[in-house]
Amino acid sequence: MSANVNQNACVVIVGAGHAGGSVAAFLRQYGHEGRIVLIGDEPLLPYQRPPLSKAWLKGEADADSLSLKPADWYAENNVMLRLGGVAERINRSDKTVTLASGEVIPYDFLVLATGARARELPIPGSDLAGVLALRTAADAEQLKNALGPDKRLAVVGGGYVGLEAAASARALGSHAMVIERESRVLARVACETLSHFFQDYHGKHGVAFELNAGVAAFEGRDGHVTGVRFADGRVVACDVALVGVGAVPNDELAKDAGLSTVNGVVVDLEARTDDPSIFAIGDVTHRPLPLYDRQFRLESVPNALEQAKQAASAILGRPGPPPETPWFWSDQYDLKLQIAGLPFDADRQVVRGDVAAAKFAVFHLKGDLVQAVEAVNAPPEFMAGKQLIAKRTPVDANKLADPSVSMKEVAA
Amino acid sequence: MAKITYIQHDGAEQVIDVKPGLTVMEGAVKNNVPGIDADCGGACACATCHVYVDEAWLDKTGDKSAMEESMLDFAENVEPNSRLSCQIKVSDALDGLIVRLPESQH
């Protein structure tokens, strides 16, 4: 019934996160009938990570709602699971994967969806109980258990994970302090207008900030964290510390197998590595961004889904999915932040709307082309901006800056 | 359980028992109904869970929030009965609901 090639090929997926779970689902949806083996080092079925720092942390979502597919989906769709399985080695010459358990699994196609891990701080006290990262459901469970009324959370790193966790901690009645090495939060991932806006908003909700602050050590007693010591010697007390200083790709397996890696596994627009039988998808990849004429590593669900579709399509010889504009979202308090594109090569910013009213967007232009838009409680700006980025349609910056001109008209 | 009928653009139908409390989007995604992508997992951030609610059910599915309204405003092939299915909570009152899916979510 299907014209798919490789319909009966054996596909082995290493990594059972959002990307790994999705590529299995897309393969079946596209008519693949061969063996699929899904290997994940966590003991859990594929689940969504974004809610871990948001709805889940606040107790507004449960394990069921986090899961990508119900448990019986895998058996019904003949997806063999190796949960708690650690892939130790790829043997490219005989096309097998060796697990730490000793099991050797043969593949026709291999999909690496190994994701990224939280970057660690190489400072004294990092191994104390109560010094946490937030990447997995187990991490989130630990953090959730440590929060509650009047608990003191110290967040090291003012990125999205840290700010979302601080907002959730406040909602749970905990105190929160965000410690950032740079002079502003979100320094690597957002423009200054946004940084200042978010810091202000968090401040109004009772979050304390220490900027330009180096962290020298975590202090502890009886093996449990009791505080954060700054480089200048001051100590701030805490009951729990969250380290959110970025992520590093889990690309060692690929590197050891001789695949090309540059801050992630290098892939093409079919998500294929330099071995035609091996694909890589999601946070672990260093992928082409045709819109910006460069290779980059993205950490986002839409990216994982796009590449899962690319890999499943390429394996089955189907046309690939339409190109996606990179996009991201974050929920903090009553703020919905939606970002489309990346501000590469932008030469000016246009602010539209009212920052003080928490309803605005910052457009990043390169000449008269929109490279990126950061929208706070401004869905029309996000949606229209995303389309403008994809279509490379020139815009009139004066109209863009004028909220009395609708986004439909700006984008027309 | 509420029975929800999802009708694909090509006319193919699936009837799914959905647990009250889940959303119409989750009822589809968790039961392998294709055609609802829900890239953001229900955060009302992406407009890839667009459905057309059967006219007879429009009253019972409630009103759109301002956020949903403005997301839909920029989606493709929007009709007056368009909704984002992540914003429709399933309850016993929706037993029998019929939704139709657009040709594409992207």
Strand partners, A242: A132, A155
The rounded distance, in Å, linking the Cα atoms of A271 and A13 is 13
* CB-CB under 8 Å, A51 with B71: no
- The tokens describing A291, both together, are 């819109």
- Its pTM stands at 0.94
Does B74 sit within 8 Å of A25, measured CB to CB? no
The residue behind tokens 């901006």 is A385
pLDDT band at A7 (very low <50, low <70, confident <90, very high): very high
Nearest C-alpha neighbor of A237 from the set A219, A222, A223: A219
Looking at residue B20, the DSSP 8-state letter turns out to be B
Categorize the per-residue pLDDT at B105 as very low, low, confident or very high, splitting at 50, 70 and 90. Answer: confident
Contact A14, A87 (CB under 8 A): yes
pLDDT at A2 over 60: no
CATH of B2-100, one of 3.90.1150.10, 3.10.20.30, 3.40.800.10, 3.10.105.10: 3.10.20.30
Q: Do domains A11-117+248-316 and A131-245 have the same CATH topology?
A: yes
- The vertex-A148 CA angle with A146 and A154, nearest 5°, equals 60
What are the two backbone dihedrals, phi and then psi, of residue A249, each rounded to the nearest 5 degrees?
Answer: -70, 140
Q: Between the CA of residue A346 and those of A298, A394, A403, what are the distances in Å? A: 18, 14, 22
pLDDT tens, residue by residue, B18-27? 999 999 999 9
Terminal CA-CA length for chain B: 30
Chain A hits for B70, CB-CB cut-off 8 Å, are: 379-380, 383
Radius of gyration of chain B (CA): 12
Instruction: Tell how strand A278-280 and strand A109-112 pair up.
Output: parallel
Average pLDDT score over chain A = 95
- Touching A: B residues 38-57, CB under 8 Å: 39-41, 43-47
pLDDT band at A1 (very low <50, low <70, confident <90, very high): very low
Beta strand B98-100 pairing with B2-7: parallel
B32 touching chain A per CB within 8 A: yes
Which of these, A356, A264, A317, A297, lies nearest to A109 by C-alpha position?
A317
Report, in this order, helix, strand and coil percent for chain B, each rounded to 5: 20, 25, 55
Pairwise CB contact (< 8 Å): A305 & B39? yes
Q: How far apart are CA A355 and CA A362, in angstroms?
A: 10
pLDDT tens for each residue of B54-99: 999 999 999 999 889 989 998 889 999 999 999 999 999 999 999 9
**Range from A46-60, A125-139, A245-259, A301-315 carrying the lowest mean pLDDT:** A46-60
Residues in chain B within 8 Å Cβ distance of A70: 30-31
CA quadruple A41, A42, A47, A50: dihedral, nearest 10? -100
Which three-class secondary structure state does DSSP give residue A194? helix
Q: Give the distance from residue B86's alpha carbon to the nearest chain A alpha carbon, in angstroms.
A: 12
Which of the four CATH numbers 3.30.390.30, 3.40.50.12280, 3.60.15.10, 3.40.190.10 does domain A334-411 have? Answer: 3.30.390.30
The closest of A309, A328, A329 to A320, measured between CA atoms, is: A309
Which of helix, strand or coil describes residue A286?
A: strand
Q: Which of B34, B41, B74 sits opposite A50 (nearest CB)?
A: B41
Are A12 and A112 in contact by the 8 Å Cβ rule? The answer is no
Report how far residue A181's alpha carbon sits from residue A31's, in angstroms, rounded to the nearest whole number.
Answer: 50
- CA A151 and chain centroid, separation: 27
Q: Mutating which of B19, B29, B31, B40 best tests the A interface, going by the most A Cβ atoms within 10 A? A: B40
Contacts with B46 from chain A: Cβ below 8 Å: 302, 327, 329
State which fold the A11-117+248-316 domain adopts.
Answer: FAD/NAD(P)-binding domain (3.50.50)
Q: Do B43 and A331 touch, CB atoms closer than 8 A?
A: yes
* Min Cα–Cα distance to chain A from B50, Å: 14
* H/E element, A302: helix A301-316
Asked whether A271 and A287 are in contact (CB, 8 A), the reply is: yes
Nearest-angstrom CA–CA distance, A283 and A261: 13
- At A3 the pLDDT is 61
Q: What are phi and psi of A76, to 5 degrees?
A: -60, -30
- In this structure, the strands spanning B82-84 and A247-249 are unpaired
Share of chain A above pLDDT 90, in %: 92
User: What is the C-alpha separation between A228 and A154, in angstroms, rounded?
Assistant: 8
Distance to chain A for B25, nearest Cα, Å: 12
What is residue A390's three-state secondary structure? helix
pLDDT tens per residue, range A145-189: 999 999 999 999 999 999 999 999 999 999 999 999 999 999 999
Test B67 with A379 for CB contact under 8 angstroms: yes
**ipTM score:** 0.89
Residue % of chain A over a pLDDT of 70: 99
- Domain locations in chain B as residue ranges: 2-100
- Does A359 score more than 90 pLDDT? yes
Provide, as residue numbers in chain A, all residues whose Cβ is less than 8 Å from the Cβ of B72.
none
Angle between helices A192-204 and A160-171 (to 10 degrees): 20
Mutate to test the interface with A, among B70, B78, B90, B105 (most CBs of A within 10 A): B70
- Does the structure show a pLDDT above 60 at B51? yes
Task: Check residues A57 and A285 and name the one with the higher pLDDT.
Answer: A285
Both tokens of A217, joined, read 């050590």
Find out whether A155 and A242 touch, Cβ atoms under 8 Å. Answer: yes
Q: What is the pLDDT of residues A296-336, one digit of tens each?
A: 999 999 999 999 999 999 999 999 999 999 999 999 999 99
A337, closest residue in chain B (CA to CA) = B45
DSSP string, A219-270: EEETTEEEEEEETTS-EEE-SEEEE-S-EEE--HHHHHTT--BSSSEE--TT
The Cα A337–Cα A194 span in angstroms is 10
Domain residue limits, chain A: 11-117+248-316, 131-245, 334-411
The CATH code belonging to domain A131-245 is 3.50.50.60
Pull the structure tokens for residue B79.
């009709």
C-alpha–C-alpha distance, residues A69 and A33, integer Å: 19
Residue A225 structure tokens: 């964290």
Instruction: Among A48, A327, A387, select the one facing B41 at the smallest CB separation.
Output: A48
Which range, of A107-111, A385-389, B37-41, averages the lowest pLDDT? Answer: B37-41
| Contact list, B24 vs chain A (CB under 8 Å) | none
Q: Chain A within 8 Å of B30 (Cβ-Cβ)?
A: yes
Token pair belonging to A186: 């979100």
- Render pLDDT for A362-407 as a digit per residue (tens, 0 to 9): 999 999 999 999 999 999 999 999 999 999 999 999 999 999 999 9
Model confidence pLDDT, tens digit, residues A335-347: 999 999 999 999 9
